[in-house]
Structure 1
């Protein structure tokens, strides 16, 4: 099985540093799952010394099956939308096989709670999906080849009874529009363009995406700024601030530093 090329490193802080230390691949899930599951992502590592990876998370719920030789047997974890910078210390040898749900796509698998119930939380996946046991985690991360891991992930997710929900479809479409359309700067104007009130849009996002639409707009701005900072030798920060809808360059710099931990100029210099 051929892995999807790693073109989009959006959200990864220092992607070159991470990708020089781990083997990172993406795979498409089985066709019936693609309505709700955006991608599978696999990471394998074998490190002579520890490395801490940092990610500015996307507005997605992730289901991961993990093995780290320093932490014992394989396990399954469900992670809601992480609001702050996510850090993971990698040591020795390990593997992660993750399923990233589309923003708005997790609720059909767990319809009894709004997705905001999971926001900011990481918990044993068995608390949500009783079949997500240590044995299942071993069956997913154990095979050496990606094809077997993908097949095991497909089999598990296909066994779950997703409950079709038109509101989930609506939330996914709106979240995708916010991600792709850089002209979306103001939640009130965006809601009006969708024939919704701002309050109705907020309720929909809380129930199905797990965050506010404003948070999604701001997070995608930071993802874009992070991508530009890591890719371009010289960034016109004033022009980028205007493009992303910030009041001025100072607002972009403050938001970048608050999220990533350093000002954008320092980040660019370090790259």
Structure 2
């Protein structure tokens, strides 16, 4: 199981956050549902920084339904006031059914026309004291997905298997390795990645390694950067540092210091 918090750069700053596994009937469509709830003091805000999974998300908020595509850089959201969201981290099989071309929503978050989904999830979340509100919201969301999205094809399931492999197996460092494991050609995996994810397989592998590097730096402030780079399959420390600068706009050393002093960020 992939750690749902792996892409959160400063976990100590998370609002009240609930992760819910999908019901069995939509497990081929959703990795997990995520439900943040927050109550920020007037005049203050809380920034949530992410190096997100290479996935799209369908999100219900009090005033809209939105779809976000995979990201190529650090992303953030500033929370203020009181609020909630119910998001579904989509598997590739669902992405293809909801976004005609997922490359068009890369690094974007845009409204998604689903008034019935909004009404059902909002009704479930309307009573903030109801201990079953998360279960009700996920049930409503899952029912909507099951009605909206047809049963995944064999191709869609292969796309699921490809992404599962690339984001969870640290030994997968090259496309040809994944192709051999899945008994598919590299060209097929490249086509599936474009159609069902929006990013090439190489970008999915880089994102996993960057998340793992950030997690390791959070968990062990004394870790040697050269050793960490080698453990994660980078050619050397310089390549790890370049990935950090390209995606996160800071170095591994500066992130390590910030991760252990989150109140200063």
TM bin, normalised by shorter chain, reads 0.7 to 0.9
Residues 108, 163 of structure 1: 8 Å contact kept:
no
2:252 equivalent to 1:260: no
Q: Classify 1:193/1:120 alpha carbon distance in 2 versus 1 (closer, same or farther; 3 Å).
A: same
Q: Among 59, 72, 89, which residue is 1:83 paired with? A: 72
Query: Who is 1:14 aligned against?
Result: 10
Query: Who is 1:251 aligned against?
Result: 239
Give the alignment's TM-score, normalised by structure 2.
Answer: 0.87
5+ residue gaps in structure 2?
A: 261-265
2:88 equivalent to 1:99: yes
**Whole-angstrom distance in 1 between the partners of 2:40 and 2:233:** 41
2:214 equivalent to 1:221: no
Corresponding residue SS for 1:44: strand
Query: Who is 1:150 aligned against?
Result: 138
Give the alignment's TM-score, normalised by structure 1.
Answer: 0.85
2:32 equivalent to 1:39: yes
Query: Who is 1:29 aligned against?
Result: 22
Q: Among 110, 125, 132, which residue is 1:123 paired with? A: 110
1:151-177 per-residue CA deviation (whole Å, 9 max, x = no partner) reads 322332232232421111001111111
Residue 130 of structure 1, CA deviation: 6.1
Query: Who is 1:63 aligned against?
Result: 58
2:122 equivalent to 1:138: yes
Query: Who is 1:166 aligned against?
Result: 154
Aligned residues: 252
5+ residue gaps in structure 1?
A: 1-5, 68-73
Residue 150 of structure 1, CA deviation: 2.2
More helix by share: 2
**Whole-angstrom distance in 2 between the partners of 1:190 and 1:147:** 36
Query: Who is 2:45 aligned against?
Result: 50
**Whole-angstrom distance in 1 between the partners of 2:45 and 2:191:** 42
Corresponding residue SS for 1:253: helix
Residues 13, 226 of structure 1: 8 Å contact kept:
yes
**Whole-angstrom distance in 2 between the partners of 1:35 and 1:143:** 30
